[in-house]
Structure 1
Amino acid sequence: MISFSCKAQEETKLEPKLENIAWISGTWHGEAFGGQTEEIWSKPSGGSMMATFKLVADGKVQFYEIEIIREIENSLVLQLKHFDGELKGWETKDETVDFPLKYITKTKVVFEGMTFEKVSEKEMNVYVDIKENDKTETMKFNYKKD
């Protein structure tokens, strides 16, 4: 009996290097929280990638995020900070929300609490675990690339 596994190749884990996740770079748009989202990721340079996120609902900015993915101790970590519409920080001055890397495949970057999934060259899904009232819910953001 001969059997083939197409999934095995896709699930091959890649090294935790920025060049293996460079497909995230670009300008992405979607919808979430009753509004329009925009997320802009830079290409890897200087051992990191950086991004800005903006949510606009009812004609005004609800919040911003500044995000980075950086190489640290032979792995990657995604760190972010939230800001309200007037750029006042949600976290304290030295505090970041950190998502350590779990693994990378050709089409997924899986951090603890956040996953990037490449659907095509112009589409990706981002899954974020959102904790509220001792309950965790995974929210899906579908983005299209400019």
Structure 2
Amino acid sequence: MKPTKSFLSVFILLLISQLCFSQFKNTLKYTPETPPVKASLNDILWIQGHWRGEAFGGLTEEIWAPPLGNSMMFSFKLVNDNVVSFYEVGFIKQIGETLILKLKHFDGSLKGWEKKDETIDFKLVSVEPGKIYFDQLTFEKISKNEINVYVVISHDDGSHEEVKFNYKRYQ
């Protein structure tokens, strides 16, 4: 059977799009073909705590609460030159036999970036011991007192980059 031009065109387009989104080392991309992943909040208890690190030329702080009400809530802030650049508030929620991460951004005055009823949602892609992969966002346990968070950031020019947040437990 000889492949048609349209088949080859679709195949090449799919290959290019896959290469564009799999160019990053530490994150995975959710696709409609991604099979459902079973996980519970118990699989990610190691992210709870008070964490600090550096990114985007400033200091970062992330606080993860223990599970309550089928979710783990978090807050994040970035501080540049002793001024808050932005905040994030969100959760990882148990939905049936899987998890979803949802968040909202706020500027330093708590003015929301997203519309009132909108959230940024990250579907679960894979779970491994010490790693949890959401769509273009990964948590990695280095030790009891250190974690990495990798996230794919989109820029205005259409480019993307994977950013690493290295956090140490803050006492």
1:77 maps onto 2:125 in alignment: no
Relative to the length of structure 2, the TM-score reads 0.76
- What do residues 109-141 of structure 1 show as CA deviations (whole Å, max 9, x unaligned)? 100010000000000000000011211110000
Is 2:46 the counterpart of 1:23? yes
Per-residue deviation, 1:15 = 4.2
State how far apart, in whole Å, the 1-side matches of 2:82 and 2:167 are. 20
Letter in 2 for 1:137: E
Secondary structure (helix, strand or coil) at the match of 2:46 reads helix
Q: Write the letter of the residue equivalent to 1:56.
A: V
Gap regions ≥5 residues in structure 1: 1-13
Residues 1:45 and 2:89 aligned together: no
Structure 2 alignment gaps of length 5 or more: 1-36
Deviation at 1:73, TM superposition (A): 3.4
Which digits, 9 at most, give the CA deviation of each residue in 1:31-80, with x for residues without a partner? 00110000000011110000000111011000000020001132100000
User: Paired residue for 2:159?
Assistant: 135
Which runs of structure 1 show a deviation greater than 2 angstroms over 4 or more consecutive aligned residues?
none
The answer to whether structure 1 residue 112 and structure 2 residue 135 are counterparts is yes
Give the Cα separation in 2 of the matches to 1:128 and 1:66: 16
Q: Distance in 2 between matches of 1:58 and 1:144?
A: 20
> Counterparts of 1:99 and 1:113 in 2: how far apart (Å)?
8
Secondary structure of the residue aligned to 2:133 is strand
Number of residue pairs matched by the alignment? 133
The 2-side partners of 1:44 and 1:19 are apart by: 8
Choose 1 or 2 for highest CA Rg.
Answer: 2
Query: Identity over the aligned pairs, expressed in percent?
Result: 54
Larger displacement relative to structure 2 (14-23 or 90-99)? 14-23
Within-5 A mapping of 1:116-127: 116-127=139-150
The structure richer in strand per residue is: 1
SS at match of 1:44: coil
Give the Cα–Cα distance (whole angstroms) in 1 for the partners of residues 85 and 150 of structure 2.
Answer: 20
Q: Residue deviations 1:92-121, cap 9 Å, x none?
A: 000000000011111101000100000000
Does 1:144 pair with 2:165?
no
Give the TM-score taking structure 1 as reference length. Answer: 0.88
Which letter does structure 2 place at the counterpart of 1:28? W
CA separation in 1, counterparts of 2:52 and 2:59? 7
Q: Going by fraction, where is helix more abundant, 1 or 2?
A: 2
